[in-house]
Structure 1
């Protein structure tokens, strides 16, 4: 099992409490908040502070609201329609009247509301929804309260979360569970994929410790083996490029930046090594 990362979480500090006497003469009481009826809930009818700028019209602009059937999101759709925006609203089931009837009944919905089926748990389902939008209001988030907590978690991470910390990786160096990539080093060298993998695993370990979960991580490098999907993954594309004599035209070329920061020369293939893992070995953790 991987040891918990040493990266400290960002600290959040509360501002010091001040008494009424410490506020000074420049302090002004905030304006009272006036209740507004639902029938008057538009930007033009709101009682606004004189210093608050009026939003420009949204006529001709297209925005996306994810999770549009939700409480806050529904009001957001209503206000956007009232300002003239074309609204692309994503819901999990557009044919469920319980989720969409109230949206279809909004003023302007028949002309400027477009409903899309999308689910956060389905990768790529939002691609067509947000394409061409001027802005996105991301309110969707799965909220389940009746599920059983997992007893064990196996996280498929990456060697990217392990090996990139600026330390030399000579043949006698052994990478073990004490190794973690350094986000600061990776930011300096613009290894953004490595940063994302490192921070993701770090967050997982913190959550596992907080919740008392039994978690194990798998950190593969280049994965090879038979393909089940019809498309090439990164590792398979690299192997195919080597077989075709075009190592620098595809997968291996994409690794040049990684290797260069480990004191390797991509132009001298004899000095370059990559870690290879069998897909069968990785899948056998079940």
Structure 2
């Protein structure tokens, strides 16, 4: 992730005028684009002809033809199972299988009142609890972004929006296999800062993880090179682990422990 961020052309993008623009894009595609948006349509495999990805076969048996390329947001590991074995060089397959997976992300999304906030509030913050523990330590590092600082219309008047997350340090094993209706899951939500929403889409993938460990591997793989013509990575292939989307969290704890945003 950091290898990507330090590239000269890298930028962190947000939807113009806020996330409502995403819904507007979907409506526009449906109304004017002549495109179909399908939900709950699991891909069985990527169809390859003469070394070129030409479409996908759905679990229902339906074939979807690609006019130009197949854009995939499958993880590096899952992609091997979606492609014919003979298409991918064995050396590449072995390399992927030997690649260690990073831990998961835990995300916090919230809004807060802008009244009384310092005018010099900045957009990005990194909080490190203990530098001696390192950036990979469990719940030791929090990355915070407040995009409504430079772009005011990303939030309603008098409000700010905030996105904070643990950068690939949330142990997935804590959540794996838990029933979201169980008492155990609910207790864990409170313990891990009251997580209210786990992204279902991430849980159908390999351990919910898309990230890789090791600087050299990350630099090589974030480009999404699958060794198959006509197959391109989607935005979700950015080199990071699976995600826990948090809708409600005890933000006071964050402020008490870090004083990161100078809002106390």
**Alignment TM class, shorter chain as reference:** under 0.3
Q: Which has the higher strand share?
A: 2
Query: TM-score if structure 2 supplies the norm length?
Result: 0.21
Larger Rg: 1
Q: Greater RCO between the two (CA within 8 Å, min separation 6)? A: 2
Query: TM-score if structure 1 supplies the norm length?
Result: 0.20
